[in-house]
Amino acid sequence: MDLKQFFTGVGCLMAGYLMYRSIKNERPSSEDTNWNGPTLSSYIGYWGSLVILIMVGIVFILKSLPAKI
């Protein structure tokens, strides 16, 4: 088991979880929110980077496991 890749994957998952917690109740700025909140492009970019970060974390954890399971 490669511990460096494992802990990199765990770190990516932790960062993804913290990003999710910070954006969970946010809504993009619009007339409904009285133009408060992030712009739509930054909101979509944030969610896109969150998904990619979680996928990278899972890939690193799976890659760190031994080949013969």
What is the pLDDT tens value at each position of the chain, 69 positions in all? Answer: 889 999 999 999 999 999 999 998 888 888 888 888 888 899 999 999 999 999 999 999 999 998 765
In a domain, 10, yes or no: yes
Please state the domain count of the chain. 1
- pTM confidence score: 0.82
Contacts (Cβ under 8 Å, ≥6 apart) of 65: 1
Say if 69 falls within a structural domain: no
Residue 60, judged by CB atoms within 10 A of its CB (0-12, 13-18, 19+), counts as buried
Report the C-alpha gap between 24 and 46 in whole angstroms. 11
User: 52: domain range?
Assistant: 3-64
Q: Is residue 52 part of a domain?
A: yes
